[in-house]
Amino acid sequence: MQGFEWHVPADQGHWRRLRKSIPDLKDIGVDNIWIPPGCKGMDPCGIGYDIYDLYDLGEFDQKGTIATRWGSKKDLQELVRAAEDVNIGIYWDTVLNQKAGADSTENFMAVRVDPEDRNTELSPPEMIAGWVAFDFPGRGEKYSKMKYHWQHFTGVDWDESKQSYAIYKTSGHNKDWAKDVSDERGNYDYLMFANIDHSHPEVRADIFKWGEWIGTEIPIRGMRIDAAKHYSASFQKDFVAHLRNTVGADYYLVGEYWRGEVNLLLKYLKMMDYEISLFDVPLLGRFAAISRMAGGDLRKIFRGTLVEKMPNHAVTFVGNHDTQIGQSLETVIAPFFKPLAYSLILLRSQGHPCIFYGDLYGIRGGPEPQAGSSCNRKLHILTRARKLFAHGEQRDYFNRRNCIGEYWVMSTVIVTGLIHSTGFVRYGNYQHPFGLACIMSNGGSSYKRMYVGSKHTGELWTDIMEWRCETVVINSCGYGIFPVDAMSVSVWVNSLATGRHDLNRPL
């Protein structure tokens, strides 16, 4: 689960909120929590991507506060211990592309570049005053003696001497944008604030040291690599290798490489020697497009996605803090489609699904706040269904444009359903024998005749989403006829299983 959304209160209490939620999250099947950037930012209310000091986790009086927006270092450590106690891992949001909130300016030579083509220089080298001096006076030399100065950066976007906003590329020996970054805008190395030069040996040494240090301060199990397309892939590869060698070979890493073309994601994974996973941005785009398209073809929902091409490296998701309304990567999925999308990532075997704090608990602010779950308060039901019933092998039958079904069975026989609907079969296992049948429609109401196994003969199956109130009887041949409402999803399981597990109990 992504454990935050953009509008979580800036009350320095979020680490405590998450700690209190740990029992509920364990109950619904959350295995790992991606927490927000916990290093000191330049703004006490900043969400953490305005990174100031990697080594300040809410311990030092810097930038007007000791605690970060999320809480103190002590609160953070207590959260991680509470998660560890119930075997929930913590993934750190790692921001290594930029620094913000410098302590003072320095004069250095730089050239202005075209914001739309950063390879095009618009001026000869000129002296500018950039905010690039990071002395960390509140921390001093505890944990690290490294201080950052102009030579440790490749660019800024503000000249204090002229009070001028532009993208300035640092001039000097071996100073240039990294070449192994996204080719958007010519070269998308520069994103914001003071852009770190990852080729500088002092920078490399300090970041590698920090990668080891953070794991000693808090026992995290992995990292999200922020803005992966904006800095050197070769540096990231070396950083990941360093973590594997020093922290552990099973350290989980997922990159935020925000491109909608799956071939670019595959190229990046190859450059990284397939040592990390990526968020499946193309799949999110498919969800958004089909949700807004009348009669969109559900059979093609996974075409051109990372989970289709390389499922073991795909982190599937339905939304995150950047895709919220009003944010930089705003991606609108029609409300009716959110439960369908979550069913497709949670109730299938491919990919590593990630649910969103804002979809589970609601959005607290912004243009369109919502008090509760964006899935009509049903997301926790789907996560419990994944934990309890979504096990075993799977076989797909996507053969109807607007109605696809999923059926998960404890059986060794696969039988195709009626021609008017599509679906896929997945088998249960010894520990989870009940199975489930899921059917969804982005058009009119429909049904599917599904084979769920002769050993289920005579069982009564009910919709755990409670959007269909009837009971389906499994016939003597192991079939049931499972209905679904228009623009909806229904998840059917043995009624004895629903009574045993109380899937609808609230968080």
Active-site residues: which are they? 226, 256
Q: Is 144 buried (19+), middle (13-18) or exposed (0-12) by CB count in 10 A? A: middle
User: How does DSSP classify residue 142?
Assistant: S
Instruction: Identify the helix (H) or strand (E) that includes residue 290.
Output: helix 281-292
Closest by alpha carbon to 277, among 310, 229, 317?
A: 310
Instruction: Tell me how far apart the 2 most distant CA atoms of the chain are, in Å.
Output: 84
Q: State the Cα–Cα distance between residues 258 and 265, nearest whole angstrom.
A: 9
Is residue 68 within 8 A of residue 39, CB to CB? The reply is yes
Is 217:90 a contact under the CB 8 Å cutoff?
no
Burial 13-31 (b: 16+ CB within 10 A, else e): ebbbbbbebbeebbebbbe
Distance CA 129, CA 153 (A): 13
| DSSP assignments along 13-41, one per residue | -HHHHHHHHHHHHHHHT--EEEPPP-SEE
Residue 414, classed as helix, strand or coil, is coil
Q: Half-sphere exposure of 498 toward its Cβ, with a 13 Å CA cutoff?
A: 18
User: Residue 316 in contact with residue 307, Cβ under 8 Å?
Assistant: yes
Q: What SS3 state is found at 73?
A: helix
Place of tokens 């005579």: 458
Please provide residue 24's backbone torsions phi and psi, each rounded to the nearest 5 degrees.
-65, -45
Helix axis angle for 262-271 and 233-246, nearest 10°, is: 50
Length of the chain: 507
C-alpha 102/C-alpha 62 separation (Å) is: 11
CA 193 to chain centre: 23
Query: How many whole angstroms separate alpha carbon 376 and alpha carbon 391?
Result: 25
Task: For residue 485, count CB atoms less than 10 angstroms from its CB and return exposed for 0-12, middle for 13-18, buried for 19 or more.
Answer: middle
Looking at residue 134, the DSSP 8-state letter turns out to be: B
Quick one: which of 19, 28, 105 has its CA closest to 464? 28
Measure the CA–CA gap between 163 and 225, rounded to whole angstroms: 33
Question: Which residue type, as a one-letter code, is found at position 203?
Answer: V
